[in-house]
Structure 1
Amino acid sequence: MWFYKLLFLAVALLIGASFSSIGVPAGWLLGGLLAGIFYGLFIRAFDFSGWPFQLALALVGINIGLMMEPELFQQLIQYLLPLFITLVLTLLTGLFLGILLDRWTNLDRRTAFFCTIPGGASEVIAISSDYGADQRIVASFHTARITMFVLIIPFGIGMIYGEGNMDVQTTAQLLPTGLQISFFAVIIVGSYVLNRLISFPGGILIFSIALGFLGSEFVVNIGEVPAYISGIGQGFIGAMVGVRFERSTVVRLKSIGAASLKVLGLYLLSSLGIAVLFFWLTPLSYLTSLLSTVPAGAAEMASTAVALQLEPTLVASLHIIRVVSIFIVLPFLFKLLMRD
């Protein structure tokens, strides 16, 4: 089984590298995603939950940490109020869409609610069964939502606004140095251990960002890392997300009917609107605002921000705050929704 998984990842990275080399926006990420979708639909699906996905998260997180500047902490303070406002709107939107999905389909209310929670997909799927929801439907809906956003946003940003293909290697260095390899290995292991000790949604991503920043800023100067190292992490994320979109996902979405397409479309439109509000309330560009507020997963949007060079550390930080906040208020939202 592992041979076929490794073969699949190698093919996904090859496609991602090819996409990046010809100028496709966020080529590594989209190449891996499309390869994953094709594999899942027509060949076979693989499960990369657990440490393989965490390894990919850590690889992306370290590269974000290397780009991080100390001034980010001062910037975050000015974004907390706009983030709170848009977070409340995002939560209310998810709640409203859950009510619509409940009314438009024969799904039970618990399942409909968990299908539209704008939190981390992996974490929502994992706990949905504890609340009595149908985990298979929840997983299918969130997989479709994440896939839709990761497909649309990089292409939209790159093709419409011309800010794609920031993955191109700009340095003559082709291979990482021994120091860089050791640095990445230590940070990955440290992030994994910390995440086991102190677990919370998106934990390994934030730990790897923090350790990558602290290690490169105060411990050792590892120099400029080859750009394809970040691309490999993005390719892994894309492949592991895309391969979840397999035939059973399509079948389950069909069982819900046209309502699933309506709700996904409303999710997209509301996300574009909430990003406009965040854009008005902050000095950020609309593109960065969109990546920072769209409920499409911290890892996926952070990877997109890295690929397009649109404030990846800020995007990742705001998404982590969003996901953690949602899980804090989740029990109260659930009680509210389950009232007649």
Structure 2
Amino acid sequence: MASLPKPPFHRLSRETLSRLFVTLAIAAAGGTLFAWIGMPAGWLSGALVATAVAALGGLPVGIPSLVRQATFIVLGTSMGSAISPDTLRGITSWPVTMLVLLASVPVMMAAVVFYLVRIAGWDRRSAFFAAAPGALSAVLVMAETSGADTRRVVFGQSLRLFVLVALLPAALGGLGHQPAGTLPITEVVPDLVSLLASLGVGIAGALIAERARFPGGAMVGAMLASGLVHGAGLLSGRLPDAFLIVGFVILGANTGSRFAGTRMETLRRFLVDALAALAIATAISVGFAVLGAFLAEEPLVKVLVAYVPGALEAMTIMAFVLGIDPAFVAAHHLARFVGLSLAIPLVVRLFFGPAVVPSENVDPDPGEAKD
């Protein structure tokens, strides 16, 4: 009897696994190289750079959602293990830096929008969404239904994240910050029972946060749950180095693969504008970070990582790997995420009105071919 045809998902699953294997091989090679030459956060930044180059070269790269979510849980669990009673006592200084951060957001966005519209010639909608510092998922959802050119928005946001992850460790070194190494120095969990318990707590926290649609759900939920039990002294120790290295490589690969499908023509057209916007946003972040650090009597490097216009998950992990309080950084990026998610719809309604055409029909230049 003839064999039955294989279901469609078999072929798709095989292609997905093949792409995952290629992506991880490229990312691991880049991470190994950067770690070997002693780059700060080498496993993360090296994987990101290598994957981005491969994506721009047309190789099939990408990280499936399930793998990405599992990685966020592992990293969030280990980041939560860095929380201690001393960390909790330091929370008393956070309201000051929070207020300064929230004051910086409208200033930053106004300056970037002014440049993109008046100098670079972008339309106002696209410039507005591209200027949002973080909250990428919420920004993209709103941009797609507001008549913005989503190509510009995605490129500007992705390039900003790429540059920050790739260059921030070296920049902080120039400010005098010396991380302990490429991995945190907190002691590893003492036994298998503690390891399984830590993972179980992280998974439970991630599931609850995802169910509640909490921003950065998988990672932030795992970190909060892990931080709760570690801060209370119920568990001690972070996950083994192998878990962290794999997590950093996958995170870097996921960020780098955002450039898949980007044509070199598009890259050249948007690159200068996006880099200039990043320079403006970063300069304003530094200025407000200096003010926040002075008022709260916190280290400048710590406040700066909490203020830079990057993604919640990536910047929290960057703080963790560089030996900076991840709870402090996560709290500030989360506050900005929530603030942007609430404020952007109101601003769009007040200043832009209803979209004339759907986002997918917007072409930044009628003389250019669509990508």
TM-score, normalization: structure 1? 0.87
CA contact (8 A) 2:180 2:323 kept: no
Match of 1:145 among 140, 145, 160: 160
CA contact (8 A) 2:63 2:250 kept: no
Query: More displaced, 278-287 or 76-85?
Result: 76-85
Which runs of no fewer than 5 residues in structure 2 stay unpaired?
1-14, 354-371
For 1:266, the equivalent position in structure 2 comes to 280
Deviation at 1:336, TM superposition (A): 4.5
CA contact (8 A) 2:125 2:148 kept: yes
Paired with 2:327 and 2:86, the residues of 1 have a C-alpha distance of 11
Paired with 2:185 and 2:115, the residues of 1 have a C-alpha distance of 48
1:103-147 alpha-carbon deviations (Å, 9 max, x no partner): 334533211110111132233223321222222221111001111
Deviation at 1:231, TM superposition (A): 3.0
1:254 aligns with 2:268: yes
Q: How does 1:1-340 map to 2 (within 5 A)?
A: 1=15, 2-48=17-63, 50-158=65-173, 161=176, 163-164=178-179, 166-168=181-183, 177-217=191-231, 221=235, 223=237, 225-246=239-260, 248=262, 251-256=265-270, 258-338=272-352
Paired with 2:198 and 2:237, the residues of 1 have a C-alpha distance of 13
1:74-94 alpha-carbon deviations (Å, 9 max, x no partner): 423322133222222223211
CA contact (8 A) 2:97 2:292 kept: yes
C-alpha spacing 1:39/1:126, structure 2 compared with 1 (3 Å): farther
Query: More displaced, 26-35 or 226-235?
Result: 226-235
Paired with 1:102 and 1:29, the residues of 2 have a C-alpha distance of 34
Paired with 1:164 and 1:245, the residues of 2 have a C-alpha distance of 29
Give the aligned residue type for 2:52. Answer: I
Query: More displaced, 141-150 or 199-208?
Result: 199-208
Number of paired residues?
338
CA contact (8 A) 2:55 2:257 kept: yes
**Higher Cα Rg, which structure:** 2
Query: More displaced, 313-322 or 11-20?
Result: 11-20
- 1:234 is paired with a residue whose SS is helix
Paired with 2:272 and 2:151, the residues of 1 have a C-alpha distance of 18
Paired with 2:129 and 2:67, the residues of 1 have a C-alpha distance of 25
Q: How large is the RMSD of aligned CA atoms in angstroms?
A: 2.9
CA contact (8 A) 1:59 1:233 kept: yes
Paired with 1:122 and 1:336, the residues of 2 have a C-alpha distance of 22
- 2:85 is paired with a residue whose SS is coil
Higher share in helix = 1
C-alpha spacing 1:250/1:145, structure 2 compared with 1 (3 Å): farther
C-alpha spacing 1:333/1:232, structure 2 compared with 1 (3 Å): same
1:181-211 alpha-carbon deviations (Å, 9 max, x no partner): 5335424532442233210322222211111
C-alpha spacing 1:49/1:102, structure 2 compared with 1 (3 Å): farther
Give the aligned residue type for 2:312. Answer: A
Deviation at 1:180, TM superposition (A): 4.8
Identity of aligned residues (%): 24
1:256-293 alpha-carbon deviations (Å, 9 max, x no partner): 47433322221222222222122212222111111011
Give the aligned residue type for 1:260. Answer: A
